[in-house]
Structure 1
Amino acid sequence: MDFINNMRDRLSQASQSTVQKAKDLSELAKLNGAISNAEKQINELYGKIGYKIYCTYYDSPLPEVSDLISQVTKLHQSIETCKMQIKAINSANSCPQCGAKISKDMAFCSGCGYKLISTEQPANTEPTLFCSNCGAPISSGSIFCTSCGQKIG
């Protein structure tokens, strides 16, 4: 009988130990999740703080952040240039009458039937240039951008 009682006590201790380890693992997972969530919230707040500082000191940045603000401003300008170029490309591929998408080989718009003028450039002309400041199309020979006034060249 001692053997059976001894075995039962050992099994009881092992199961209690296993249950405790499972509880510990569960608690560790909860704590790690809480840490991860708090770190995520902190990073979001850092982003909001940075954005507010950028907006506040955009025109006259603090010396500590002037280089960073300059970098953000240049990236915003780059984004705007890309958007203007996208707009120019999309407008070249849309019907001037109704705005429907068209392709270069179409003679008439499939949306409204408007007779399309050839969108291809003659072989002897230069391709359209874009302003490095605002991205607007620039006519060949222009000295200034007609959209933003930036000197060309």
Structure 2
Amino acid sequence: MADISNLKKSISEEEEKIEKNYQKLGRAYFELKGNEPAPEFEELVTLIRSSYSKIDEINEKIAELENVQKCPVCGTPLESDMIFCVGCGTKIEWPDTTPYDPQMPETKFCIYCGTRIPREANFCTKCGAKQ
């Protein structure tokens, strides 16, 4: 009985491998022939493209809700500490959002990244550039 159970388990494992390989085959076909699918696959390719478009739209809505900044050149989402875009390499110019405090010692701006730093600073507190 145990032998039969082990053999059935082996069959099940092989069926799982087949299913994973079918998925890989489908992805490989889409990546290879997605722009010119065979007529019998056009509907499936269209459905996949539609889903990708919906995902892009949803990601746009999420970015708007999270107030995510985007690269002005390529549109790649940016994190607040990025100096260069990871999508296209454009240098990102962030506006200075430090509120004015009259009791704060005089400040200057980093010559490299534009961050407000103390006037006497020799190095930037954000990017570490020598001033």
TM-score, normalised to structure 1's length? Answer: 0.44
Structure 1 residue 61 displacement after superposition = 1.2
Map residues 6-21 of structure 1 onto 2, 5 A cutoff: none
Give the corresponding residue for 2:45: 69
CA distance in 1, matches of 2:4, 2:17: 20
Give the corresponding residue for 2:31: 55
Give the corresponding residue for 1:39: 15
Give the alignment partner of residue 62 of structure 2, picking from 86, 104, 107.
Answer: 86
CA distance in 2, matches of 1:72, 1:54: 9
Structure 1 residues without counterparts, runs of 5 or longer? 1-24, 93-97, 100-111, 116-153
CA distance in 1, matches of 2:61, 2:42: 29
Specify which structure has the bigger relative contact order, considering alpha-carbon pairs within 8 angstroms and separated by 6 or more residues.
1
Map residues 134-149 of structure 1 onto 2, 5 A cutoff: none
Map residues 14-29 of structure 1 onto 2, 5 A cutoff: 25-29=1-5
Aligned residues: 74
The amino acid that maps onto 1:84 is E
Where has structure 1 moved over 4 Å in runs of 4 or more? Answer: 112-115
CA distance in 2, matches of 1:40, 1:75: 25
Structure 1 or 2: larger helix share? 1
Deviations 1:58-102 (CA, angstroms, capped at 9, x unpaired):
11111010000000000011011101110110117xxxxx68xxx
The amino acid that maps onto 1:63 is P
Deviates further, 50-59 or 66-75: 50-59
Q: Secondary structure at 1:65's aligned position in 2?
A: helix
